[in-house]
Copies of this chain bind each other. A is one copy, B any other.
């Protein structure tokens, strides 16, 4: 975007004629905005209530009803960010944040995002910005090697493997892409008229992203199987349960299509046994996707790698670098063995995107590997994280988080009002799991959780990671609120899944 012809300018007072004028960029980004704004935010983040304490509709009362007619200064806007936005944030970057899952930012991830935002290229195909495509393929191979994924999931230098990795926004998109690939492959074989016969398998612990993706892909909602798990198998999907569910479906004339196995479920970080599940699935020609959204990163440590044993038999594998790998949202890493089936399920080739490089088949056009056409330069931030930490430090970080969760587990074990229901596997210590406990305890748990979170001191749902000081502090907050609530009752045991 070039500069404006000057005869057209009436009121471009504070905003430059060129929306990316270098000097103005320097002035506003460096001197006015100042990285200090965010540095101060990180410095003060512990002093804010972790879970925002605002009431629904708070912001509408504070902001004007319409866009201003004239420009406002960045100073004014930043003042409003401090006064009106920050109180409405739930501080995912706070060391006292233990809810949902970790959303781990880092300086390297932030700088990577700044670079890709600054370049602002739209890398839908190779030609539209070769570096965006090529860096993505390279870092996906790097990370794949760190996880010792089989070669069939990686790009080979001569392009013969057929496999490779791609960055998606989120797991739901990754599942949607692989599911539609599996769906179209199957429908080409059995005929489109059988779309309502296709069945998708998961466990009752599988993330709701799977169900959402199935809904979007047009899978009959009646054919979504959330197979029951139990405490006896630590909530992991039992291969014989899968097998019997599949056989019953075949008996009814249905067509098994897709299995999502999870390594580290959202509720209890359960690990589905990938190898044995793949064995069952392969008998019936089912596409197996392994969703290791949260826990997958830990598998770069040799001692945790066994959790994804059997992945060589799966068709696709994904993890979220924006969860537990220091890469800011969004950055879901997906590897597939048969990339051509991904491409077939969504390839479009209009006139305006035709180019020599694509036609030569020497390049990847990632637009055909994902839902959207346009795509951000996401590999930049992952590249910065991998390089600025290096394998050794990344492993040290992940191990230290697991150690902190062990510490938390130890603290729980010393308080006999709490009971550990399922074992801790990674760095998350699920607590207040209401599904598997009795009515009265359930109610107490819910009351305790709301009481803890309303305090603003910590925010919990199922997840515990963080610094040792904060973990110990968190446990103190839980105990204080337990004292207060159980004071009204008498010595009931509070169940803990963890």
Contacts and interface: CB of A to CB of B under 8 A. Distances in A.
27 contacts: A1-B465, A2-B95, A2-B467, A2-B470, A8-B396, A12-B396, A15-B393, A19-B106, A22-B39, A22-B40, A26-B39, A29-B38, A30-B35, A41-B118, A51-B127, A60-B157, A77-B388, A88-B134, A89-B121, A89-B131, A120-B328, A122-B329, A172-B374, A192-B220, A208-B373, A212-B346, A329-B376
Interface residues of A, number: 184
Interface in A204-237: 207-209, 211-212, 215-220
B346 A216 contact: yes
B352 A462 contact: yes
Contacts of A183: 218
Contact of A103 (B122, B434, B468): B122
B180 A1 contact: no
A492 to B, nearest CB: 21
A81 B39 CA distance: 24
Nearest to A468: B5
Contacts of A322: 374
Contact of A58 (B3, B130, B132, B462): B130
Interface string A121-165: 110001111111011011001110110000000000100000000
B374 A371 contact: no
Given A65-B141, A88-B130, A322-B374, 14 more contacts: A12-B393, A19-B104, A19-B105, A19-B106, A22-B43, A60-B137, A67-B143, A72-B387, A88-B132, A92-B129, A103-B122, A180-B215, A211-B348, A218-B218
Contacts of A396: 4, 8-12
Number of this chain's copies in the complex: 2
Interface string A465-494: 111111100000000000000000000000
A68 interface: yes
A358 to B, nearest CB: 10
Interface string A387-402: 1111111001101110
A90 interface: yes
A469 B330 CA distance: 38
B8 A403 contact: yes
What 8 A-B pairs come out closest when comparing CB atoms? A2-B467, A218-B218, A88-B131, A19-B106, A2-B95, A208-B348, A59-B134, A170-B372
Contact of A110 (B38, B54, B117, B384): B117
Interface in A161-189: 169-173, 176, 180, 183-184
Given A107-B20, A120-B105, A93 B392 contact: no
